[in-house]
Amino acid sequence: MTLSPQEDGETRDTPAEVDAAFRTQRRVALTYFAVFLVVVAVFPLLSTSLSWWLDSRLIGDLSPGFLTVAVGLYAVFAAIGIAAATLSSSVESQMLGSQGDQRAEESGPGAEAGAS
C-alpha cells in the first residue's frame, strides 16, 4: 500500500529531522541528569560543611537535612521529571512531524475531514 503525501508526512520522519531532534533531546537529558547528580551528591557535603544543615529547625521542627531525605528530594525528583518531560515533548512537537503539519495546512481543513 502506498501512502498519500499527507499521510507519508504524518507517519514518517526524515533522518535529518530525527537527528536534529535527537541531538536536542540528548542535550536536555544530559543537562537534567547533571542537575539530578548534583542534587544527590550535595547532601553529604552539606552534612559535613554546614552545621546549620543538621542543627537548625525548619518546617515541622525538622532539620533541613532530615527534611531533605524525608520529603524534599522526592519533590525535587518530581520537579525534574515534570520539567524534563514537558521540554522533551515540546522539542518533539516542534522538531518532528512538521512536514506532515505543513502538508496538512497546505491541503486545508477539508483534507483532515476527508482522511477521517
Task: Give me the residues that bind other proteins (CB under 8 A), please.
Answer: 10-13, 15, 17-19, 21-22, 25-26, 28-29, 32-33, 36, 40-41, 43-44, 47-48, 54, 57, 60-63, 65-66, 69-71, 73-75, 77-78, 80-82, 84-85, 88-89, 92, 96-97, 100, 116
CB of 70 to other proteins, least distance (A): 5
CB of 64 to other proteins, least distance (A): 12
Grid cell at residue 77: 525528583
The three-class DSSP label of residue 1 is coil
Q: Say if CB 109 and CB 1 are below 8 A apart.
A: no
Q: Which is nearer to other proteins, 40 or 106 (CB)?
A: 40
Can you tell me which residue has the cell 535529518?
16
Q: Say if CB 76 and CB 39 are below 8 A apart.
A: yes
How far is the first Cα of the chain from the last one, in angstroms, to the nearest whole number? Answer: 18
CB of 19 to other proteins, least distance (A): 7
